[in-house]
């Protein structure tokens, strides 16, 4: 229980949370751009 109350824990949780949100946004953006350029989702199979 005490290991969750260290000084590094809140900062690590916040950093990992922001990183997860950022990577998720980049992932969603790349997926949407990919779909826009290819027109159809099936175009990815030909790649």
The reported pLDDT for the residue numbered 25 is 92
The full set of domain ranges for the chain reads: 8-37
Give residue 42's Cα distance to chain centre.
Answer: 23
The reported pLDDT for the residue numbered 21 is 86
d(CA 13, CA 5): 12
Q: What is the pLDDT of residues 25-38, one digit of tens each?
A: 999 999 888 888 77
Q: What percent of the chain has pLDDT over 90?
A: 9
Where the chain has pLDDT below 70, the residues are 1-10, 40-47
d(CA 21, CA 7): 23
Q: Residues for the chain: how many in total?
A: 47
């Amino acid at each position: 229980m005490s290991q969750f109350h260290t000084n590094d824990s809140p900062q690590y949780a916040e950093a990992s949370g922001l990183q997860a949100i950022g990577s998720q946004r980049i992932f969603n953006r790349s997926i949407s751009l990919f779909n826009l350029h290819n027109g159809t989702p099936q175009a990815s199979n030909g790649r």
